[in-house]
Amino acid sequence: MDNAYVVPLADGVDWVGHVDWTVRDFHGYRTARGSSYNAYLVRGEKTALVDSVRAPYAGGLVGRVAALAPGGVIDYVVCNHAEPDHSGSLPAVMAAFPGAALVCNARCLEALSLHYDVSGWRTRVVSDGETLSLGGRTLRFLDTPMVHWPESMATYLQEDRILFSMDAFGQHIASSERFDDQLPLHEVVDAARTYYANIVAPHGRPVAAALGKLGVLGAATIAPAHGVAWRGHVGEIVGLYRDWAAAKARRKVVVLFRSMWGSTRAMATAIAEGAAAAGGVSVKLIDVTATHDTDTVTELMECAAFAAGSATLNQGMTPEMARTLCYVRGLKPRGKKGLAFGSYGWAEKAASAIDATLAEMGVERVSPPITSRFAPDAATLGKCRDAGGKLAEIALGA
């Protein structure tokens, strides 16, 4: 689809970003549905471009802005976040609109200067809460540190009650639609959940702080930097963000495993069966070789308890389980309980290594690791089922 189109959010406020239909990787996050880099042109007596797009798509952005801006001129370029998916086109934008001043906070300017040659740019550094009048329209800048980087900021268009929220509330969705009420809600919420789990989750406390700050604004539209804007379901997504930021758990148990010859798989299945037998608990059994870590971490985000197991390979856990746990650990799951398990032949190494990794993650283990030398016997499978039941009890209390 041609990206050379614009979409109004309000009279004089237009989406001018880029839909990336084919991107499938975002530093390890599998973006199965593509994404968009959202930029917005706000026209008062003066004109501001809020955010920009990835470097390869700068030409399209510049063309759209030049066509829409009165006289082909803009006065301000607001940069809410220095990560290159939003700043990569700034060198081209600042060159195309030399009269425009880049507006950002001090930390953002420092980060930009470490990415690009900013020496020829006109800049205006703004502080938390500062406003900028466009004449008839007012932008208010609000620091939202760690959502998603330390320099991140949101911009609120006061008169139109539009919050340009940067990464927060985003979803990796490529679509011709630009609003939440133009797509099935479950698709947008699923994408927002996956986005939160893979991008925002490590920063739950800063997110809660940002929600408190942004909540007082009473935005009617939340326009993030990726995916569609929220206007039909603002209350729902803010409520979900509150739950996610608080690491609120659902009645859910996840069992992760990597097997070699079926022994660890049998243990995993018994744990999952034991959890399911408790009733009232959602149980997910995930073979980490068959599930992308993007989806695994999303499943883990709202679970109350989980188990992770691996066969022992070369005196350690399997590389696949190590990779998954490395990814999970980086996203800093909070408030989880769990257990390690696994099979071995001559030396038990995998389950104990997983147990140590869970401890490093801050996961409260509900029992010592469950291990099996080669194929699990009936007694070991019984232990696994009991452990599943224990995980389910925890989830039922969540």
Residues classed as catalytic: 27, 81, 83, 85, 148, 167, 195, 226
Question: Which one of residues 54, 81, 231, 284 is an interface residue with ligand FEO (CB under 6 A)?
Answer: 81
The answer to whether 227 touches 36, Cβ cutoff 8 Å, is yes
64 binds ligand FEO (CB under 6 A): no
What's the closest the beta carbon of residue 17 comes to ligand FEO, in angstroms?
A: 12
Coil, strand or helix: which one is 305? strand
Task: Quote the CA–CA distance of 365 and 340 in Å, as a whole number.
Answer: 8
46 binds ligand FEO (CB under 6 A): no
> Residues 351-390: x/- map of binding to ligand FEO (CB under 6 A)?
----------------------------------------
Q: How distant, in Å, are the alpha carbons of 123, 237, 263, 279, 352 from that of 48?
A: 13, 27, 61, 55, 56
Instruction: Rank residues 31 and 310 by Cβ distance to ligand FEO and give the closer one.
Output: 31
What's the closest the beta carbon of residue 81 comes to ligand FEO, in angstroms?
A: 6
* Cα angle, residue 128 at apex, residues 124 and 134 outer, rounded to 5°: 50
Q: Which helix (H) or strand (E) holds 299?
A: helix 293-301
Question: Which one of residues 225, 234, 305, 328 is an interface residue with ligand FEO (CB under 6 A)?
Answer: 225
Query: Which two tokens mark 384?
Result: 């696994």
Instruction: Rank residues 201 and 276 by Cβ distance to ligand FEO and give the closer one.
Output: 201
85 binds ligand FEO (CB under 6 A): yes
Residue 138's beta-bridge partner residues? 133
203 binds ligand FEO (CB under 6 A): no
Instruction: Rank residues 170 and 333 by Cβ distance to ligand FEO and give the closer one.
Output: 170
20 binds ligand FEO (CB under 6 A): no
Task: Quote the CA–CA distance of 58 and 64 in Å, as a whole number.
Answer: 10
Stretch that binds ligand FEO, among 81-89, 273-281, 318-326, 365-373 (CB under 6 A): 81-89
Restricted to residues 134-173, the positions that interact with ligand FEO (CB under 6 A) are 148-149, 167
Instruction: Rank residues 81 and 337 by Cβ distance to ligand FEO and give the closer one.
Output: 81
Stretch that binds ligand FEO, among 59-67, 83-91, 214-222, 341-349 (CB under 6 A): 83-91
> Taking Cα atoms as reference points, which of 167, 136, 169, 141 lies closest to residue 155?
141
Question: Which one of residues 33, 46, 64, 86 is an interface residue with ligand FEO (CB under 6 A)?
Answer: 86
Question: Which one of residues 83, 151, 180, 299 is an interface residue with ligand FEO (CB under 6 A)?
Answer: 83
Residue 179's beta-bridge partner residues? 229
Stretch that binds ligand FEO, among 51-59, 79-87, 313-321, 354-362 (CB under 6 A): 79-87
Residue type, 167: D
Task: Quote the CA–CA distance of 122 and 118 in Å, as a whole number.
Answer: 8
Task: Quote the CA–CA distance of 282 and 383 in Å, as a whole number.
Answer: 20
Residue count, binding to ligand FEO (CB under 6 A): 9
Instruction: Rank residues 61 and 354 by Cβ distance to ligand FEO and give the closer one.
Output: 61
Strand 252-258 with 305-310, pairing:
parallel
The answer to whether 226 touches 171, Cβ cutoff 8 Å, is yes
The answer to whether 180 touches 188, Cβ cutoff 8 Å, is yes
Task: Quote the CA–CA distance of 67 and 96 in Å, as a whole number.
Answer: 12
What's the closest the beta carbon of residue 60 comes to ligand FEO, in angstroms?
A: 18
Query: Given the rule CB under 6 A, which residues bind ligand FEO?
Result: 81, 83, 85-86, 148-149, 167, 225-226
